[in-house]
Amino acid sequence: MQKAIIAGALAIALVALGSFAAGGAKMKITSSAFKEGGNIPSKFTCDGGDSSPPLQIAEIPSGAKSLALVVDDPDAPSGLFTHWIVWNISPQTNAIAEGSVPNGVQGTNHFGKSGYGGPCPPSGTHRYYFKIFALDRELNLPAGAKRNQLDAAMKGHVVAQGELMGRYSRKK
């Protein structure tokens, strides 16, 4: 019985360690403009000013060397649609002001542009995920890189992550 308890405790410890090594640690990303699961105000969409919402970042691990920000829509008709990617953001960054770009390197979104492209669903209500990643290094990617390049460069280097989900549907 004692061996089974020890084996179980060891298995739990290994799973926890593996989860942390795979980026299982949690960070927080929030916005004063909308709550988790709430509706994104139209001013941050193609129906408004199309400016980025204010974001707050918390619980950044002390060992992080850089941050990456990804905003995407998994409900797009063509599959995952990327609205904004920025990497090599300083790990001291704890807020991104409304309509601003964090100091870092911006990639190309699925609109074919660099920078933030707000929600603009063709129909129905879509979910938009604002994801923050703490990395154990800066990434060697040029400005304008695409999402698949960012994902490949981050692989194995994520030490923590967090996400905020908001919803938007266009008024017809």
Each residue of 108-145: pLDDT tens digit? 999 999 999 999 999 999 999 999 999 999 999 999 99
Domain range 26-169, CATH architecture = Alpha-Beta Complex (3.90)
pLDDT at 5 over 60: no
pLDDT at 11 over 80: no
pLDDT at 51 over 80: yes
> Which one-letter DSSP state was computed for residue 76?
S
Backbone region of residue 124 per phi and psi (left: phi > 0; alpha: psi in -120 to 50; beta: other values): left
**pLDDT for position 171:** 82
Instruction: Report the pLDDT averaged over residues 76-90.
Output: 97
